[in-house]
Amino acid sequence: MTKRLVLVAGNIASGKTSLAERLGARLGWRTAFESVNDNPYLADFYADMRLWSFHLQIFFLGHRAQQHLELAQAPQSAIADRSIYEDAHIFARALYHLGNLSERDYRAYRQVFDMVTSGLPRPDLLLYLQAPVTVLVERINQRGRAIEKGITPEYLSLLESFYGEWMQTFDLCPVLTIRTDDLDFVHQAPHFDIVVDRILDRLAGKEEVLFGNQGGE
């Protein structure tokens, strides 16, 4: 199979890590995940978001750019849990919208982001995972991560609206939308088989990929 670079995008608790792990194991692809434990700004950010938002976003930008390049240059196919593009179009935008990132810092960040991403190799496919906010809230409560205690349904809805707008203009590669409330690829092996087949079909160039009654594009 031709070497591929696949990115997984979607709201918090939409199933990105679970899907990336399982796809990597099934297809023998290299997998990459979000940097949390080695992020030197995360604790400061949660203590004072307005002071540390710009620093945090710059750290994520550098980390994801390096990760993207390494995956693109690796000899084997690869899949990344969250894309570099979400940093700007979703999370930095949300920080700015909520007043935690000043207009000056937001503009400076976007300028650096545009410059960095303009030189990155394009991915072959973006997997966009979707689920209703009520489902996302339930999953967040079930996994009980301390870092996610302050996440509200309103914040998730804001992110979801930004994802919708971003998807309307995203044109770097084909997009395969997967409703993770309909397809339980974590606990239902047949559901995961369906997801794998649809991903491989899309990578093979099939223009229309369907999940039951839902469209795949």
Residues belonging to the active site: 81
The string of DSSP letters for 158-186 reads HHHHHHHHHHHH--SS-EEEEETTT--TT
Residues 113 and 36: their CA atoms lie apart, in Å, by: 20
Collapsing DSSP to helix, strand or coil, 101 comes out as coil
* Tokens encoding 173: 């590669």
Bridge partners, 176 (sequence order): 127
Take residue 195 and report the two structure tokens written for it.
């997801």
CA nearest neighbour of 89 among 18, 162, 6: 162
Which residue is listed with tokens 């399982």? 22
